Amino acid sequence: MKNQFDIQFQQILQNIQENGIEEKNERTGHVCKSLPGQTMQFDLEEGFPLLSLRRIPLKVFMAEQIWFLTGKQDLEWLQQYTKIWDDFAEETNCVESAYGYRWRHHFQRDQIDGLVKLLQKDTSSRHGVILMWDPGDDGLSNGTVKKNVPCPFTFTVQIMGGRLCLHLVIRSNDMMLGNPHDVAGFAFLAHMLAQKLGVKPGMLTVSISNAHIYDIHFDQAAEICRREVTHEAVQIDFPPNMFDRAEAADNNLVDEVFQAFKVVYKPQESLGKMSIVL
């Protein structure tokens, strides 16, 4: 079976290029081509959704999800692996809207611990909702421009047919840089949660309110669409006890998962340097 992420990713990029609405984004100053309401869906038992039409840095999404599960705002542990959050940090080296902090502390409850206990007690529950967006502090609530507001802003987790299904909702997604990273990261989280709950991984659904390509990536997006999907579905043998090890910020876990991916991940050639639009 061919890599389903490559196929769906290529289809959305092609659709944006051909049918996207081209407008200048006032916040960034860049022209974007955008489409509303795009959806991707993957059966995690059939393969891990990992972009192979170009290389992505594997350790980044792994370390980021582990950092989220620790519930930290401070970047020190994550900075061993990536600097991508540094532009959003305060002088204290903390990210005020860090997703993991919001999962575990911000709303006066530990949403992740509550999710695990809920699904251990009642596998048929449909109440497994996790929020990153704070309506009292993000978006419409005030006129100030914050350093960071969550792009993935909520996800739900349910067990259906003995399999863990995760539905992620993203308000705004840079398809060339953010999307492959976000999909792989939350697929990794789904595997960790499935292990913790003693069930198989199931469907990962990603709903994107605004899927866009920035002007500085138009040529690279066109190149992605010209490439043939050749990579087979990515099958990974994950190490045991990942959820508990992630909560403990186990550095060995990053290395073990990276080695498991490295054996099977054979991406196509680089597209060259790609700058992040902040």
CB 34 within 8 A of CB 23: yes
User: What do you get for the CA distance between the two ends of the chain, in Å?
Assistant: 36
Say if residues 237 and 80 touch (Cβ distance below 8 Å): no
Catalytic residues: 151
- Which residues in 220-234 are b (16+ Cβ under 10 Å) and which e? bbeebbeeebebebb
State the virtual CA torsion across 10, 41, 51, 219 in degrees, nearest 10: 30
Contact by Cβ (8 Å): 224, 13: yes
The pairing of strands 173-174 and 129-131 is unpaired
Cα gap 59→66, rounded to integer Å: 11
Q: Which of 74, 70, 72, 103 is nearest to 91 (CA)?
A: 74
140 to each of 122, 137, 143, 144, 147, how far by Cα in Å? Answer: 36, 8, 7, 10, 15
CA-to-CA distance for 216 and 172, rounded, in angstroms?
A: 17
Phi, psi of 69 (to 5 degrees): -65, -20
- Return the structure tokens found at 61: 């999404």
Residue 75 carries which DSSP code?
Answer: -
